[in-house]
Amino acid sequence: MQPMAPTKSYNSKIVNLAIPNILSNLSVPLLGAVDTAIVGRLDELYYLGAIAVGSLVFDFIFWGFGFLRMGTTGLVAQALGAANHQMIQNLWLRVALFGSVLGLTLIVLQNPIAHWSLIIISPSAEVAQYATEYIRIRIWAAPATLLLYGMNGWFLGMQNARIPMIITIVLNIINLVLNVVFVLVLDWKVAGIAFGSVIASYLGLFLALAIFFQSYAKRWASGWWREWQKSDFWEPLTWKEWLGVNRDIFIRTLCLIFAYAYFTTTSARAGDLVLATNTILLQLWYISSYGIDGFAYAAESLSGMYWGQKNTEAFKQVVRKTMQWGLGLGLSLSALFYVGFESLFMLFTDKPAVVEQAQYVMLYTVIAPMVNSICFIWDGVYMGTSNTKPLRNTMLITTFLLYVPIHLFIEPYAGIHAIWMAMILFMIARGVLLSTLAPRYFSLKLS
C-alpha cells in the first residue's frame, strides 16, 4: 500500500481538475441557455418548442453515445496509473475508430431518426415542422461530436482537464457567435441554430486534433505503428472488456435520457406553455448539473488513476473529498436559485405567462442541485474504476420501477407538479442506491 498524501494535496488535485471541467461544462448549458433566450424572443412559442424537441432528439443520440467519453476516461486513467502506455494509445485509437463509424452511421439514418422521433414525442404541427428542419441539419455534426466525446474522455483520463476546457469553450463561443448571426442578423430562425452547431463542431474537432498531435502523438516512438500492429489492440479479450464497460454505460445513459425525454414529452402533451416553461427550467437544472459534474469528472479521473495504482488510501481520500466538494457546490447553487430565481428565469424569456407558470414549480429547481450532487459524484467514482454494472442496474431500477410509476400514480392528484416530484425522487433514489452499494464494490466507508 502506498503512503497517503496530505489532505491539501488531494484538495489541490481535485480543484485543479474540477475548475477547468466546471468552466467547460458550464459553457455547454450556457450556450443552450443563450439559444433558448434568442429563440424565446422570436414571435411564436413553437420556435422554442422546436428547439426543445430537436435538442431532445440529439440528447438521445449524442448522450446515448456518451460512453465514448465516460468509458474512456476511467480506462485511460487506470492505464496511466498502471503505467501501461500501450493501452493508453490503444484506447485513443478505439474511440477515434468508433466515433467516426458511429457518426457516419447516424448521418445515413437521418430520415428514420427524424420520422420516428417526432412520432414518439408527438408535438404540435408547428413544432414538428421546425423540429424536423433542425434535426436534418444538425445530424451532420454527428462525426465531429462523437470524436470530440472520445478525445475529451482520453484527455481527462490523462489527468488533463485544461485541453477539454479550451476545446469546449472555443467551440461554444464560435457556436454562440454563429447563432447570433444566423438567427438575429440573417433571420434563419431554427435552421440558424442548427447550422451554428454543425460548423462549430467541426472547428472544435480540428482544434482538438491539432492539440493532440502537437502535445501527445509526437512523443510516441517512430516505430509506434509497427508496435501497435503487434499489440493487444486486436486481442478479443481486451475488446470484450472495453465493449462490456461501454455497453453498461450505454444502457445507463439511455435510461437517464429516457427520464429527461419522458419529462419533455409529458410537458409537450400538457401544451406549448408548459413545454416552454419546463424547457427554461431545465436550462437552470442543466447549469447546476454541469457545474457539479466538474467534481464528478475529477472523481472519475483521480479515482481511476489511484485504482490503477492499487493505492487504496488515496482512492478513499479522493472519494471523500470530491463528495464534500460536490455537496458544497450543490448547496451553494440551491441557495443562489432560491434567492435569485425570478431574475435568473427572466434572463430566458420576457413573456409574463411563462414567468407566472414557472412560479408554480420553482421549488424543484431550487432543491435539485443539492439533491443531485450525491449521485453525480458516485457516477464519477464508479465510472473511473470501470465498475459499471451497478451504475447500469441502479439506473434501470430507479427509472422503470420508481420514476415512471411514481409519476403515473401521482399525476391525477398533483397535476403539473407530478413530473417534477418524480424527477426529484428519481435522483434521490439513485444517490441512495449507489451509496448503499459502495462498500461492496470499494470496501469503502466515508465516515
Query: How high is the pLDDT of residue 264?
Result: 82
| Most confident segment among 78-92, 161-175, 320-334 | 320-334
Say if CB 334 and CB 370 are below 8 A apart: yes
283 vs 245, residue with greater confidence? 245
pLDDT grade for 1, boundaries at 50, 70 and 90: very low
Residue for grid cell 484527455: 155
What pLDDT does 415 receive?
83
Dihedral sign of CA atoms 63, 196, 95, 12 in order: negative
Predicted local distance difference test score (pLDDT) of residue 231: 59
pLDDT above 60: residue 445: no
Q: Which of 27-36, 160-169, 340-349, 391-400 has the lowest mean pLDDT?
A: 27-36
Q: Taking 90 as the threshold, does the pLDDT of residue 66 lie above it? A: no
Could you tell me how far CA 101 lies from the centroid of its own chain? Answer: 21
pLDDT > 70 in the chain, percent = 90
Task: Report the distance separating Cα 111 and Cα 136, nearest Å.
Answer: 8
Within 10 Å of residue 381's Cβ, how many Cβ atoms?
28
Q: Which residues contact 255 (CB under 8 A, 6 or more apart)?
A: 395, 396, 398, 399, 400
Nearest to 74 by CA among 393, 309, 382, 434: 382
Q: Report the predicted TM-score, pTM, of the whole model to 2 decimal places.
A: 0.83
Binned at pLDDT 50, 70 and 90, residue 317 comes out as very high
Degrees to nearest 5, angle at CA 210 with 198 and 59: 30
Mean pLDDT of the chain: 85
203-247: per-residue pLDDT in tens? 999 999 999 988 887 666 545 555 555 556 667 777 788 888 889
Residue 46 — very low, low, confident or very high, per pLDDT cuts 50/70/90? confident
More confident residue, 94 or 203: 203
Higher pLDDT, 76 or 283: 76
Angle formed by the axes of helices 388-397 and 362-384, to 10°?
150
Q: Could you give the CA distance from residue 178 to residue 353 in angstroms, rounded to a whole number?
A: 30
Do 48 and 36 contact (CB within 8 A), yes or no? yes
Position 289 scores a pLDDT of 87
Between CA 262 and CA 51 the distance in angstroms is: 16
Q: Is the confidence at residue 261, as pLDDT, over 90?
A: no
**pLDDT reported for residue 447:** 43
Instruction: Please tell me the distance from the alpha carbon of residue 341 to that of residue 336, in angstroms, as a whole number.
Output: 8
Q: What is the pLDDT of residue 29?
A: 56
Q: Report the pLDDT averaged over residues 323-351.
A: 87
Instruction: Give the per-residue pLDDT at 352.
Output: 79
Q: Is the pLDDT of residue 430 over 90?
A: yes
